[in-house]
Structure 1
Amino acid sequence: MSFSLVPDRIFDDYAAVTPTLLRDLGVTLLLSDLDFTLAAKATRHPDRALKDYIAALRDAGIGFMIVSNNRSGERVTEFCAELGVPYQGRAGKPSPRGVFAAIDRAECTPAHTAMLGDKLLTDCLAAKRAGILALTVEPVGGAVTAWQKVLHALQAPFKAVCRRRMRKKRA
């Protein structure tokens, strides 16, 4: 069980995490955070681009489930229903228990699972602790509140390490 805050890969947004890339990485199940990862927190309904993305994952045979710490299930339930995807609520990230529960529900294994999220202290750490691939995106809508700005500043050095490692792999 790793306690690293350095993601395995970092992307500008979820659309950059293509089905082809996931297949190349051996991923057959993509778990994802919702708020600031797939949509801004205030967004009540998925847009066409996200619906198309989920359809492309399905077409590629990649399972998808939202894993959320959201305490109020109403918005997440509605959002996931419109996407036609299951979700694991009250995940307790950075604890890996919600991640493991989602993997079990999907009848998959950690070796073939990745977690997509925007926060290193919750999404990335939960993925690392669960022994799955940690994929990070820049937050949808960026940092808005003072706390989010502080959090982004604290995450910057870990993201920089990830970017350096990714450049070395490409070289």
Structure 2
Amino acid sequence: MIVKAWRLITPDLVLAAPITAITPQLMAKHGLQGLILDVDNTLIGDDEADVSPEVRLWVTTMQQQQYSLCLASNNFSDRRIQKVAASINLPYRSRAGKPSRRVVRQVLDAMQLPSAQVGMVGDRLFTDTIVGNRLGLFTILVQPPCEENIEFLKPSLASIFKIRSSFLRNGEIWIARRSGVKV
């Protein structure tokens, strides 16, 4: 029973790079036809409102290759997530409540793909990876796009959120590693 519990926080793939490292070749290698994407610290930083040109290009490339993409965010600001989704022309759901399966299951149903062909992409083990594993999705843990930009010397509200988010993420990874999970 304990081994099964640790399996829930074990991603199928860990990338030491941002989401743009997911290529059509990687998708083909793992038999994926679609991705459910977290937003905060996966596509954009916690305090960012605009999608970077690199991520825009990545989304366009994935869409041109006929991959189904959808956003599923725990963020409560529907306006913010809607703005991000509209800027890259993707369907979305905010207030997902991950690791609850309800909203992510609705997104998966809307994609009309078998769960084995869909990846759940995010930066957090205890939300994104758990919900993906609970639904039988291929789980991919990525580096946040802004992790290297944390400004410890110039405290501001934005940098405090980045530090908090980085601390929580690193805490999850530390717990997982101490428990024997390969992350």
> Structure 2 length as normaliser, TM-score?
0.81
Q: Does 1:140 align with 2:123?
A: no
Write out the 4+ residue segments of structure 1 that deviate beyond 4 Å after TM superposition: none
Give the aligned residue type for 2:52: D
SS at match of 2:176: helix
Q: Which deviates further from its counterpart, 116-125 or 16-25?
A: 16-25
Corresponding position of 2:32: 27
Q: Give 1:152-167 correspondences, 5 Å limit.
A: 152-156=170-174, 158=176, 161-163=181-183
Distance 2:146 2:171 in 1: 16
- Check 1:81–1:149 CA distance in 2 against 1; reply closer, same or farther (3 A cut): same
Give the aligned residue type for 2:70: M
Radius of gyration: which is bigger?
A: 2
- Check 1:162–1:60 CA distance in 2 against 1; reply closer, same or farther (3 A cut): farther
Q: Is contact 1:6–1:162 with CA below 8 Å preserved after alignment?
A: yes
Corresponding position of 1:6: 10
Q: Give 1:24-63 correspondences, 5 Å limit.
A: 24-63=29-68
Q: Give 1:60-75 correspondences, 5 Å limit.
A: 60-75=65-80
Distance 1:147 1:27 in 2: 29
SS at match of 2:119: strand
Corresponding position of 1:90: 95
**1:43 positional shift:** 1.2
Distance 1:137 1:156 in 2: 16
- Check 1:129–1:161 CA distance in 2 against 1; reply closer, same or farther (3 A cut): same
Distance 1:150 1:120 in 2: 10
Deviations 1:123-171 (A, max 9, x none): 00010111111100122323733464144133135368435xxxxxxxx
* Stretches of structure 1 lacking an aligned partner (at least 5 in a row): 164-171
Q: Which deviates further from its counterpart, 39-48 or 136-145?
A: 136-145
Q: How many residues align?
A: 162
Distance 2:27 2:83 in 1: 27
Q: Is contact 1:88–1:101 with CA below 8 Å preserved after alignment?
A: no
Cα RMSD for the two superposed structures: 1.9
Residue identity over aligned pairs, in percent, reads: 25
- Check 1:30–1:43 CA distance in 2 against 1; reply closer, same or farther (3 A cut): same
